[in-house]
Amino acid sequence: MIIKEIADGIYFLGAMHWERRLFDELIPLPDGTSYNAYLIKNEKIALIDTVDPSKRDELMDSLDEMKIKRIDYVISHHTEQDHSGVIPDILEKYKEAKVIASKLGKELLKEHLLIPEDKIIVVENGQNLSLGNKNLKFISAPWVHWPETILSYLKEDKILFTCDLFGSHLATSKIYADENPRIYETAKRYYAEIMMPFRSKIKNYLEKLEQIEIKMIAPSHGPIYRHPDFILKAYKDWVSNKVRKEVIVAYVSMHGSIEVMVKHFIKALEKNGLHYKLFNLTVTDVGELAMALVDASTLVLATPTVLTGMHPLALYAFYLANALNPKTKFVSIIISYGWGGKALKQARDMFRLKAELIEPVMARGYPKEKDFEKLDELARKIAEKHEGI
């Protein structure tokens, strides 16, 4: 665990998980991740979040190494186990410690971690907790990304502790964002995978955060921002309604029909002067796809028909796009089929994006001249739509 004093009496306790490659058994982690706890030593001692249970010993050993004999408060911003999982161990070792959480946080801590009710103090939005000559103010921030989430602001040092918000999945020994050249990309990937569904909430929170002076943003994953404008500006851009004129083409092909159609289609996009990104779903890292969807204007999904519906990989990509709720403005679908044309109905039934569905293209068997013409037409329509952005 990396222990570093980041301001007077405030310590970063970061457990690096270099080798972790999957989060929630779902999200690829090409750069590993970190679980950051923070310790504030004042008249009262507060531990801000804990770490993933797999890093329990690192946190407990670090507290011993720092000769911490007493913890008064454990601030639980968010109940997901990668931050709250070691709270029971802290309560076991530091008998006087109380957990600070939101009202819903208290319920979730009881349910998920079996923490006794009398160990938890509920705080409201705007409430102050005095630690001596330093004060923590709690800011309610539901849905970044669970409904119980709070942030906390250390008034005297102007540090905002944000738990998941503004985080990045990046294991690094360089604890400040400005020391990591790839931070923009890792933070964007993290936003895409975790925060994007809550874009409109985040927009509101960013406006609220503009009212307070922030010198440092200290998230519980990835590096700390000692120049917070960098990440605030990036988030402002990602959550805005602004899109890039770019077509994301995500496809899977079984017997070559879709591959031929996609090759023709991207040529047609080029002829119309359109930029695109191509994702073969058999080899795609879904994090890359999610990241591309953060600001692309258009998504085109291409799939063969398997039994009575889309190929499972295309189905997954479609499900993911629906769930991530990107600001994509236009969507279309390219389908090939042999004998049953039900994949289109399935796609239409599943469609949840707040985007305009441009007339899909369907081809039976190997694509013919009329199918290529329809693909040309689709590219033309997209170009027209892009003109209007």
Q: Which is nearer to ligand FEO, 199 or 221 (by Cβ)?
A: 221
Sole residue written with tokens 């955060």 = 209
Q: Which is nearer to ligand FEO, 145 or 329 (by Cβ)?
A: 145
Instruction: Please identify the residue of the shown chain whose CB is closest to the bound ligand FEO.
Output: 80
Shortest Å, Cβ 80 to ligand FEO: 4
Q: Which is nearer to ligand FEO, 23 or 279 (by Cβ)?
A: 23
Shortest Å, Cβ 256 to ligand FEO: 41
51-55 — which CB contacts under 8 Å span 24+ positions? 51/13, 51/15, 51/82, 51/83, 51/85, 51/86, 52/15, 52/17, 52/81, 52/82, 52/83, 52/85, 52/86, 53/81, 53/85, 53/86, 54/17, 55/1, 55/15, 55/17, 55/86
Shortest Å, Cβ 226 to ligand FEO: 21
Q: Are 139 and 150 in contact (CB under 8 A)?
A: yes
Q: Which is nearer to ligand FEO, 147 or 340 (by Cβ)?
A: 147
Shortest Å, Cβ 79 to ligand FEO: 8
58-63 — which CB contacts under 8 Å span 24+ positions? 58/1, 58/15, 59/1, 59/13, 59/15, 59/86, 60/86, 60/89, 60/93, 61/1, 62/1, 62/3, 62/13, 63/39, 63/93
Shortest Å, Cβ 360 to ligand FEO: 36
Residues in touch with ligand FEO (CB under 6 A): 78, 80, 82-83, 145, 164, 221
Q: Which is nearer to ligand FEO, 165 or 334 (by Cβ)?
A: 165
Shortest Å, Cβ 163 to ligand FEO: 7
β-strands 159-163, 216-219 pairing: parallel
Q: Which is nearer to ligand FEO, 29 or 315 (by Cβ)?
A: 29
